[in-house]
Amino acid sequence: MQFIRSFQNLSVLLFAAAVVCPAAAPAQHLIAPSTVEPEIEIEEVHNVDKLHVLSAVTWWSLDNRGYRPAVLVKIQNISGRDLTGKQLQFQARFIDTRTGQVTVGRSESKQSFPKNKLIYILLKGKDAYELSNNTDEWPSFECKLMSRVGDVSHEGTQTLWVSKVELVAMTDEDAFYKINRMADLPPSQPPPVVKEEQPMVTRNTLARPKTAKSTKTTKVRKPTSAR
C-alpha cells in the first residue's frame, strides 16, 4: 500500500509539472525570419556586373618575338545597366597543361558599353614560343578569361570563359573574320569553370613565371618573359 501511494503521489507531481512547464515548440519554429534574410543581403552586396561571352576564338599569334597564345572574345553587356565609363578589366591566364607554366595577357579600358551592346576583347600571353612545323610538338595550353567591372576587389571577379588554345597559327585579322562567322552562345549556357577558382591578379601581385634570362625566345614549352 505504501508503494502504491508513493507511485500515485509521483504521478500527481509529474502532471503538475507538465501543466506549469509545457513542452517547448519544435526547433524549426524557433528560427526567426530575420535569420534567413541575410542570404539575400549577401547576394546584393556581392552582385557583380554580368558580362556574357557570345563567341570566342583561340590561336597562336606570330610577332617579331615569336608565337604567343591568344584569345579573341565577343562580349555582351547583360547586366541590365549602362556600363559606359566604368573601368573594364580583362585578364587571360594561359596555362600549359603539361608543365603548369602560366603566361598572362590583360586589358584595361573605359569605353561606351550600354546594356545589351557588344565589345571585342583581344588578349595575348606575355611569353613567346618557338614552334615547329609539327603541331603535335606544340605545347598544350588552356585559356581562362576573367573580368572585373568598376572598382571592385577579387570578390567582384567574373570567370567568363575557359577553353583549350587551338593548335593553329593565324593573324589577328583571320581571328576577327572567324569570330564574326560563329554562332552566338545564349546567356543561359554558362562557360565551363575550372575546379580551383583563382583570383584575378593585379599588376602589383602578378607572380612572374620562372624563365631563362639569356634569350627572348626558346624552344617549345620553355617560354621567356619580355624584358
Give tens-digit pLDDT for 176-188: 999 999 988 877 5
Higher-pLDDT residue of 225 and 104 is: 104
Contacts 24+ apart (CB under 8 A), 202-208: 206/104, 207/102
Residue 192 falls inside a structural domain: no
Please report, in angstroms and rounded to a whole number, the separation of the first and last CA atoms in the chain: 103
Residue 18 falls inside a structural domain: no
C-alpha distances in Å from residue 167, one per residue of 60, 61, 117, 178: 7, 11, 31, 15
Give tens-digit pLDDT for 86-101: 999 999 999 999 999 9
Q: Which three cell numbers stand for residue 53?
A: 561571352
The pLDDT, as a whole number, for residue 151 is: 81
Closest CA to 58 of 130, 124, 127, 146: 124
The pLDDT, as a whole number, for residue 91 is: 96
Could you tell me the pLDDT band of residue 9, with boundaries at 50, 70 and 90?
low
Report whether pLDDT(215) > 50: no
For the residues 201-221, what does the mean pLDDT come to? 41
Residue 191 falls inside a structural domain: no
Backbone phi and psi for residue 176, each to the nearest 5 degrees, phi listed first: -65, -40
Structural domain total, the chain: 1
The pLDDT, as a whole number, for residue 186 is: 79
Give tens-digit pLDDT for 107-143: 999 999 999 999 999 999 999 999 999 999 999 999 9
Residue 227 falls inside a structural domain: no
CB contact burial 24-54 (16+ within 10 A = b; e otherwise)? eeeeeeeeeeeeeeeeeeeeeeeeebebbbb
Q: What is the CATH number of the domain that holds 119?
A: 2.60.40.10
User: Which of 17-31, 74-88, 192-206 is the most confident on average?
Assistant: 74-88
Residue 11 falls inside a structural domain: no
Residue 207 falls inside a structural domain: no
For the residues 165-179, what does the mean pLDDT come to? 97
E strand or H helix that includes residue 124:
strand 118-124
Q: Which three cell numbers stand for residue 126?
A: 606575355
Report whether pLDDT(196) > 90: no
Residue 221 falls inside a structural domain: no
Give tens-digit pLDDT for 11-50: 544 444 444 444 443 333 333 333 333 332 323 334 456 8
Give tens-digit pLDDT for 143-161: 999 999 988 777 778 999 9
Show the domain range for 73: 48-179
